[in-house]
Chains A and B, each alone.
Chain A
């Protein structure tokens, strides 16, 4: 059995965070694709609480939740830092990663999938959240400076997935006119050597979103 295994789904931004991080550290792993509609016993066994992916298995031990997995990978393997070494900078990175996951992503999701008055309110919230992020990344190539870091990896959800959803939904939340620094960052990130090979194929992903959105309002 491989020493490091990743259980995931090809379209999941949370799974890709883990793969990007392992790539950064030069760690070889076995990837196991699962069907999240009919979850196999493997997922239920390793993640009984949330029953989700990604799941990292290292030397028989299970590590769950993408942000937790990233910190684990950073501690265990040598290579470029994912989180800064300085405690204050680490606190700032964790804060911005949380802001992306707890504020930007849900707000953008709601803006893309709600309708009517609820959507208008959600669009306003999403724009405000993205503007805050725009100010934080301003003039920097990445949140991590010259190299991608924890915030960039967490933020890949916005840089690729959310921009695709935005394109499909036709909302134009992510435009160079409104968010020049954030869009530039997103382009740089998606072109980054650790990131780009892990991004799901655009056409395949958009087909999935279009098919999924006919049956459900959530992604």
Chain B
């Protein structure tokens, strides 16, 4: 059964799909999309409403939206389990997934797209978001408990953009939320994460280009 992923190298949401498939040992074909020069017909047909990546195609059937895709991957290839074993544990993972999806990238975007006082306000909001997520981690090794799991994948994927937020927001994740920084270091040692993450310096350069495009610098 063929698995294909429509992706973009800098997409933190694409990273989620890469890590999840790697954790499951699923082979797939990756198609890099040109989000600026022209999206492929396959992308536009598979995701006609949003036209966004990532898209997972499993035997040509499209699965859309990164969190949905990771749920699908976990449910289709059950071993190893990514979601917690208990229904309550799964509800906590879904709650924090929803929180991460609504807050992290959009607030981060306000840091690098903002002007003047907007940047400081966005930075403060971002740090508040991180502190809440640090509280959710508590003293555990991972969000999944002893094992790296679903919520770890959902959150670690977004961290490839953290150096960008740090640069434009003038703060350090390690100083503001040391437990998050320690958890990130642990995750980066994992092969599935290390090989799925884009080069953070290249992301910074990419964002610099986008800022020029939007007339911010």
Contact = CB atoms under 8 A, between A and B. Distances in A.
Contact of B94 (A61, A65, A103): A65
B88 interface: yes
Interface string A53-65: 0000010010111
A76 B87 contact: yes
23 contacts: A58-B88, A64-B95, A65-B94, A68-B91, A68-B94, A68-B95, A68-B98, A71-B90, A72-B87, A76-B87, A87-B72, A87-B76, A90-B72, A91-B64, A91-B69, A91-B71, A91-B72, A94-B65, A94-B68, A95-B64, A98-B65, A98-B68, A103-B49
Contacts, number: 55
Interface of B (DSSP majority class): helix
Contacts of B95: 63-65, 68
B99 interface: yes
Contacts of A76: 87
B211 interface: no
B165 to A, nearest CB: 21
B42 to A, nearest CB: 18
A71 B65 contact: no
Contacts of A87: 72, 75-76
Contacts of B64: 91, 95
B132 A49 contact: yes
A142 B101 CA distance: 28
A95 B58 CA distance: 16
A44 interface: no
Interface string A89-113: 0110011001100010000000000
B169 to A, nearest CB: 22
Contacts of A90: 71-72, 75
A102 B127 CA distance: 24
A94 B71 contact: yes
A-B pairs, top 4 by smallest CB distance, nearest first, are: A87-B75, A68-B94, A75-B87, A72-B91
Nearest to A77: B87
B173 interface: no
A88 B68 contact: no
A132 B69 CA distance: 22
B216 to A, nearest CB: 24
B91 A91 contact: no
A71 B98 CA distance: 13
Given A61-B88, A91-B63, A67 B98 contact: yes
B61 interface: yes
Contact of B65 (A65, A68, A72, A95): A95
A57 to B, nearest CB: 11
Specify which of B71, B76, B88 lies most central, judged by the most chain A CB atoms within 10 Å of its CB: B88
A71 B69 CA distance: 16
Given A65-B94, A90-B72, 7 more contacts: A49-B99, A58-B88, A65-B95, A71-B90, A88-B72, A91-B68, A95-B64
B208 to A, nearest CB: 29
Interface in B36-70: 49, 58, 61, 63-65, 68-69
A103 B49 CA distance: 10
A72 B94 CA distance: 10
B75 A71 contact: no
Nearest to A50: B99
Contacts of B75: 87, 90
Nearest to A72: B91
Interface string B153-195: 0000000000000000000000000000000000000000000
